[in-house]
Structure 1
Amino acid sequence: MVRNGWAMTGWGLGSAGFGLGCALSGTELFGAGRSGWVVAGVGVASAAAGLAVVRRRPVLRLRWFRRLLWALCGVAAVGAWGLLMDGVTLLFGQSVDSVPDSVERALAAVGAVLLARTALGLRPGARGGRGGRAVPAPTAAPPLVQLAAWAGTLAFAPYVLMKLVWALGGSFAGVGGDRMYADYVRNGSSGLWLTLERWGLDGTMLLALLGVFLLWGLVRPWGQVFPRWTLPLRGRRVPRWLPLTPALLGAATLAPYGVVGIGYLTLCTAGVTRIRLGAFASEQSALEVGWVGMCGFAGYGVALVVAARSYWRRTGGSAGVR
């Protein structure tokens, strides 16, 4: 726990410095003028909480202190929203919309993990350190969790098919594959992205398939012990951080993005507001593509939350609880 406290203190001071620098220089974060002060405040509060953990203050035994850590974790998780999209953008050679926003998302993601880990370690009955800790046997997730994984997989299927149709030169919602390829070129997509498109492989489609693979790794025993087809790694324990890190980042990004997006599309469909056309020729086309994407992101994101929670508990995050 002391190590967690020092890590949280260091992150809090760094985040506070970044937020203060943005506030004093007039750099807006996420389009809000005073957001730098909020980032600085969360950083200072986290650093103070980290020092309390390091010095083993009596406050650690109070329930409100753990609630404070979870509240700070929630704020940090909100700040990390969109990090996955930034990662995808950079992976394929494109530039992010705002460098300060991307830096803050990365900082917030690290802070959310540190705060959650510290809060979990302060629960009554939680064990500190690794000594003497039994490693749970590999188990599959309960049936309801696996049902959620199926729901998340099926929710993503229309999105994958839509992208595949475009990559193969077909048309969906009145938009052809040639038009999508021309948009990628105009937006400065990397050579790798364009090459995949010419081969009939859309980059986001491949990432979606990789996400489904991750989802099932969280609910099946082979996600805890490397299976035979991994050759040199087979039979070895999968480090918990290996699937949990992308799972938590993906859940924090896709679940709120999809849910908020569905709310927005509902208002657009009801005529309360008008959808942005972007590269689409009509509102109907934009709505069709939007519903496919947002239902996929929301369904998969929520399933990822459920699966990651189950994996955390089955691999030792909460003894005896699935």
Structure 2
Amino acid sequence: MKLFLLSSGLAVASTTFADTITVCKFGCDHSNIQAAIDAAAEEGDVIEIGAGIWRENLSTRKQLILRGLGPDLTIIDGSDGPAGWSTCLIVSEDFDGWQTSDRFHVESLTLRGGSGSEIFGLVRGGGVYIEFVPVTFSNVVIEDCSIERLGEFTVEGIGGAICNFYGDVSVESSVLRNNSAFTLGGAIFTEGPLQIFDTIIEGNIGEVEGGAVFSNDSPVSIEQSTICDNSTRQIFGSFVDNGGNIITEECSSYCPADYNLNGHVDLEDLLEVISNWTDPYTISDLLLVISEWGATCL
């Protein structure tokens, strides 16, 4: 399997007249992501997000492109949001969807630490909640999102990483790991079309069903992807196996020092540790990279 987590944005065709809006700590159009989203036009604008840990809970009804500098450099952390409203990103529209046929794109960044949004006792989407719109994830890591009960009136928690209600979702060249939901879909809950390509889904927990994917009678296709070490049943619901998949109860050839999950312990992992020194990496991570230097993991 070839999975490339690139350190630069992927080129995506967009509307001819789309604007590019920059976000960074100093010297850009905006110093936080939500302000850039609010300033964007209705269709096609590109939000280029600089390096850093962005502690935000984002929401939009616009067809945009959110583009980071790479999963190791641009991190959106949703853990500081209020209880019951702590999804990293919400993308929604009304029943008719957008006027444009173009997709919302999330590219080259990490989403982590979200705990979902509660609506009438249903907690949805720790990393991303999607409603009635098409969304594509490319070169994205969604990790460490956890949907837990908020109280006695919380009846279900679904889609630890991604919850899709009547949208159309594609996940490409990405990693979904260590997410959980207290009922269905540790990584993904979908009630709408889902395509998974060249993606790793590992270590996710759906406490009732669907550690990796819970499909509610929706069309799902999976190709050239690795799905392993998720709670049972890993994939709930039927899916089309387009070939090249590794679906096993346990992940093999795991390399703890492969921090960017490209299948090798190399210079990119060293740069990942250095660029995020002390948050979260320490001297033990540096020594681990050195001890496993040159290892092949996938």
TM-score, scaled relative to structure 1: 0.23
* Higher strand fraction (1 or 2): 2
Larger radius of gyration: 1
* Higher helix fraction (1 or 2): 1
Structure with larger RCO (C-alpha < 8 A, sep 6+): 1
TM-score, scaled relative to structure 2: 0.24
